[in-house]
Structure 1
Amino acid sequence: MPTPLWITATPPAPHGELHIGHLAGPYVAADVLARFLRADGRPVRFTTGTADHAVSVQERALRTGRKPAEVAEGYHAAITADWRRSGITFDHIVQPRHDRGYLRWVQDLFVRLHAEGVIAPRARLLPYCEPCDRWLYGARLSGGCPHCGVTGAGGVCRACARPNDCGDLLDPSCDRCGTPARLRRCRRLYLPLEPFRDTLADYWATLDLPPRLAALCEGLIEDGLPDVAVGHPGDWGVEVPVEEFADHRIDACFESAALQLFGHAARNEPWPERTVHFCGFGHAFCHAVLLPALLLAQGVKLPQDFLVNEGYRLHDAGADETWALDLLTEFGSDTLRRHVLEARPVGRDTAFDRDRLDRARQVLDGTWNGWLTRLFTAVREDSAGVVPEVPPGGTGWDVQARRLNRGVDELREAYSLDSFDPRRAVAMLDEIVRSTDDFGHVNDHERRRPRRDGRHLAPLVAQLGVAAALTAWARPVMPEGADRLAAALGIAPGGPVTGEALAAPPAGTRLAPPSGPVFGF
């Protein structure tokens, strides 16, 4: 049996609920690829986790008067529930505080890298807040990125994806009280990346990196690979298992990369032949630089693909308009998944547009569900609700069938890893439904002929074949509706996206249309 393809999606920090920007980024798109490959018979391992020990979790706890563990637990539950409601199905979601063996595994990895000299101590300047009496790093700190100037937190810039050492931020200040930070010398543990220069350069050269990610990696090589802090003085997170640094905690970026490895290593299986990482560009450093360095340090070289999305801006919308739970409750998973795939920020930032989300629902209601309602009504009125015993046909069916077979080839291409384009997949599905709806309207006039000789039944069977195909073709994008449609047709859902799916249910099958819409609600 072939080794499963390993798909990962960025572990979110559980300091808040998911919003629509998260769904428009890595999660729905990764689920689409996983569903397509599984239906095609390809073994897939789809993993993520939650970054419970991110500094932002502790900061949220301080602002709300709770314990960090309570914040992590509560938002982990909310995030995983929203994934389920969105139809996103992971094989494993790592929960650091509960997965058996996780903490020890991360610490063992850290100890091993320290013993081999991959991790080493350095004394550097680190911002300190005197009124709050604490060291500043990660979400505790705010300042200008030394590379691009954009204001952000310490660690990795979410705008340009380059790491900073906190002490080199421009005008650093405490994120809690706003006091300008004082720089103090602090001895921490670092992972110097410069020793990996040649190995990483050769490694990246073998990958088909997205252009912006390639520019980042080449820029790091050109400028000199940085030393990355992998521990900080603090009291929240995984304890650094080095005696001299017992009061330090492992850095969230290092742990996020290690968490991805644990999601696979916990199964004690051979490393996969190929991996696919879905992430926002702001998280690209952890995925494309630090994770490969951790693997290479252990002598593991994996072919990896990176599907990177840009930012999805929410600032023009009210906070109550962007939470995933609220939008899922109002629109359902089909509409929301379809919308975020259409609006997926690829190559440039995009912004949330409520009107565009409404239009996505209108397309499903007016075109998809409108066509299916007319089809089910015609079968009930003309064939007593069962599939007629005639071959598919009708005026224009030969042309339509050829177009559908060409269309499924394009649809497969849009779903496939090497040419993955979920926005194109949505457009192809819409075209398939629109053209079949047109075919149905044209042939509906057969029912009005004075001599009804059964010719009106063949177009119904042809359309039932398209409906059956959609239970496979549309399922990666809209699994909930595809499964409802399969139940209505009395067939099994989730077949491969192939031309063979274009076959009506067996003659005599009694249809069971749902009382409400098939896709969305």
Structure 2
Amino acid sequence: MTAAPTWLTATPPTPNGDLHLGHLAGPYLAVDVLRRFLAAEGTPVRMTTGLDDHQSYVPVRGLLSERTGAQVADGYGERIRAAWTAAGIDFDTVVLPREQPGYTDFVQRFFAELHRQGAIVPRTRPLPYCEPCGRWLYEAYLVGSCPHCGESSNGNACEPCGRPNECGDLGDPHCVVCGSAAVPREQTRLFLPLAPFAERLAAFWAEVDMPPHLRALCETMAAAGLPEIAVSHPGDWGVPVPVPGFTDQRIYVWFEMAPGYLLEYDPAGERPQRGPVQFFGFDNGYFHAVLFPSLFMAWDGQLPLPSAFVVNEFYRLAGKKFSTSRRHAVWALDALAEHDSDTLRYQLLRDRPNGRQSSFEHGDLEQARRHLDREWNGWLRRLLAAVRQECDSVAPAEQPAGPAWELLRGRLERTADELREAYSVRGFDPRRALDLLDEAVRCVRDFGHVQAHEPDPAARRAALAAQLAAASALAAWAAPVLPAGAERLAALLSADPGRPVDAAALTAPAPGTKLFTPDGPVFGAGADV
């Protein structure tokens, strides 16, 4: 029997604007790093996501720009996928809610089953209403102060503290579209009470691998008493509620995302054989750690729940949070038109907001490009020029040898072990991986400078073979984070691309192997060699 693939998911982005660098620095580059590492190991892996077409932020963006929701979703959805491709991110499945056959039917069947079980119940509670617009306000249509932390929040969930709200409990509610003060009116919606899942959620939280910040959010919500979550809203954008008396309402998009994840794994909705490793930002933490597991438990008690949550904090731009809706961003496609994917990936992974918020500053990408060219490419240029001069651009017959090589090899083998940890699910830390790669390049570069003074030609050639072994290792070890440059380096060395990240990659090309001189930068280049 074929082993079930390791399933990696990244939270679907909302197509209400272009993908920005905050998105890339969060789940999308990170999930691609893990996928590439596992694939090189020979592990079957499936990396999935979707587009969050039915978020209310989409039609709100349309209202504010005189477009329809469909025009907004289609235009930005295409650009989001183009940005993934340009950044070297290659999903196995991208679910498109408004295009995928059977999507609406499955989401409605999922909803109807939970209603049939009694997990979803009607509740009549205040909901803000905008009289000038003649519209009920929820999620993106609504802004006010969070009932938990007091910060500015949209309806349904607060980005700063990560906790849900009922919309009617926001302080000083206003309409986002026209700016008018909202009027609370009684409205009957469908709700999912989370309290019946409390014990099972606690057991799940005890097992799943997640960071302390998210665990603290879960425990805070549990201590306060798990709330009831509105899972339907009066509106005309999204999947219609399949329950009599509520068919004029739409399924809450974050409810919709749970069956959407199952369709990412299998379009027929078949049960996954193992739980996913999920990548998302902390502002989406409650959905992934509380709401979705509750929905999966209600749908199928035997469904494998996530095995790990890889969570990023907010990435800031000049000290303020990246925001698509507020247009405070550096757009990914714009950055990739000016800089290659290696440079972008190096900077964003090196500055990944892992465990704490970090901030992007204008000029960071240019500094990253210069660093890669000076340190990484500078060493490779000198090495390949020396091989051309000493060995006529073929791998020398001499093998790496000598006390200096033994010392360097020991360091590099330890680096390989630490890289494997930094790329693994349990120790996942791309920032650490890039620090290790930078250190390895510095060590080998210094070795090369010292050994260039060796008077014995055979010893000099052995030192060149040692550096070629390190370059071969770099082509494998850097591939998860900088795949374009790693592939170019492998081609220069006539080495196989996509090798595992391990000490075995630290092997010089066979004597007589033709080596190629780059006609441009190897890392941070964007040009073919």
Deviant stretches of 4+, over 6 Å: 317-321
Offset, 1:87 = 0.9
Point out the more displaced range, 182-191 or 502-511: 502-511
Offset, 1:316 = 4.8
Mapping 1:322-341, distance limit 5 Å: 322-341=330-349
Q: Which residue of 2 aligns with 1:517?
A: 521
Equivalent position SS for 1:123: strand
Equivalent position SS for 1:191: strand
Mapping 1:441-456, distance limit 5 Å: 441-446=449-454, 449=455, 453-456=457-460
Point out the more displaced range, 257-266 or 432-441: 257-266
Task: State how far apart, in whole Å, the 2-side matches of 1:332 and 1:145 are.
Answer: 40
Task: State how far apart, in whole Å, the 2-side matches of 1:267 and 1:411 are.
Answer: 38
Pick from 372, 382, 385: which aligns with 1:377? 385
How many percent of aligned residue pairs carry the same amino acid?
A: 52
Contact 2:25 2:352 in 1 (8 A): yes
Task: State how far apart, in whole Å, the 1-side matches of 2:318 and 2:295 are.
Answer: 36
Task: State how far apart, in whole Å, the 2-side matches of 1:168 and 1:149 are.
Answer: 11
| 2:76 maps to 1:75 | yes
| 2:93 maps to 1:89 | no
Q: Which residue of 2 aligns with 1:294?
A: 295
Q: Which residue of 2 aligns with 1:415?
A: 423
Mapping 1:303-314, distance limit 5 Å: 303-314=306-317
Mapping 1:94-109, distance limit 5 Å: 94-109=95-110
Task: State how far apart, in whole Å, the 1-side matches of 2:165 and 2:449 are.
Answer: 61
Q: Which residue of 1 aligns with 2:276?
A: 275
Contact 1:207 1:304 in 2 (8 A): yes
Pick from 330, 342, 352: which aligns with 2:350? 342
Q: Which residue of 2 aligns with 1:239?
A: 240
Offset, 1:265 = 3.4
Contact 1:240 1:249 in 2 (8 A): yes
Q: Report the residue type matching 1:497 in the other structure.
A: V
Q: What TM-score results when the alignment is normalised by the length of structure 1?
A: 0.96
Q: Which residue of 2 aligns with 1:501?
A: 505
Offset, 1:375 = 1.0
Q: Which residue of 2 aligns with 1:468?
A: 472
Mapping 1:167-206, distance limit 5 Å: 167-206=168-207
Cα offsets for 1:45-88 (capped at 9, x unmatched): 11111100110100111122112111111111100110111111
Contact 2:123 2:189 in 1 (8 A): yes
Mapping 1:5-16, distance limit 5 Å: 5-16=6-17
Pick from 427, 433, 451: which aligns with 1:425? 433
Offset, 1:268 = 5.6
Task: State how far apart, in whole Å, the 1-side matches of 2:419 and 2:268 are.
Answer: 33
- The verdict on how the C-alpha distance between 1:286 and 1:201 changes in structure 2, with shifts beyond 3 A counting, is same
Task: State how far apart, in whole Å, the 1-side matches of 2:328 and 2:285 are.
Answer: 29
Equivalent position SS for 2:241: coil
Contact 1:126 1:167 in 2 (8 A): yes
Point out the more displaced range, 331-340 or 354-363: 354-363
Pick from 362, 365, 387: which aligns with 2:370? 362
Task: State how far apart, in whole Å, the 2-side matches of 1:10 and 1:18 are.
Answer: 13
| 2:34 maps to 1:30 | no
Q: Report the residue type matching 1:67 in the other structure.
A: T
Structure 2 unaligned spans of 5+:
none
Q: What TM-score results when the alignment is normalised by the length of structure 2?
A: 0.95
Offset, 1:467 = 1.0
Structure 1 unaligned spans of 5+:
none
Cα offsets for 1:316-344 (capped at 9, x unmatched): 58969711112122221111111111111
Contact 1:312 1:345 in 2 (8 A): yes
Offset, 1:499 = 0.6
Offset, 1:315 = 5.4
Mapping 1:113-132, distance limit 5 Å: 113-132=114-133
Contact 2:13 2:50 in 1 (8 A): yes
Q: Count residues with an aligned counterpart.
A: 517
Task: State how far apart, in whole Å, the 1-side matches of 2:328 and 2:132 are.
Answer: 34
Q: Report the residue type matching 1:444 in the other structure.
A: A
Q: Which residue of 1 aligns with 2:167?
A: 166
Q: Which residue of 1 aligns with 2:221?
A: 220
Offset, 1:348 = 2.0
Mapping 1:138-153, distance limit 5 Å: 138-153=139-154
Q: Which residue of 1 aligns with 2:211?
A: 210
Contact 2:106 2:259 in 1 (8 A): no
Equivalent position SS for 2:311: strand
Task: State how far apart, in whole Å, the 2-side matches of 1:251 and 1:28 are.
Answer: 28
Task: State how far apart, in whole Å, the 2-side matches of 1:504 and 1:199 are.
Answer: 53
CA RMSD of superposed structures (Å): 1.7
Q: Which residue of 2 aligns with 1:229?
A: 230
Contact 2:318 2:361 in 1 (8 A): no
Point out the more displaced range, 505-514 or 382-391: 505-514
Point out the more displaced range, 257-266 or 66-75: 257-266
Task: State how far apart, in whole Å, the 2-side matches of 1:108 and 1:438 are.
Answer: 63
Task: State how far apart, in whole Å, the 1-side matches of 2:192 and 2:40 are.
Answer: 41
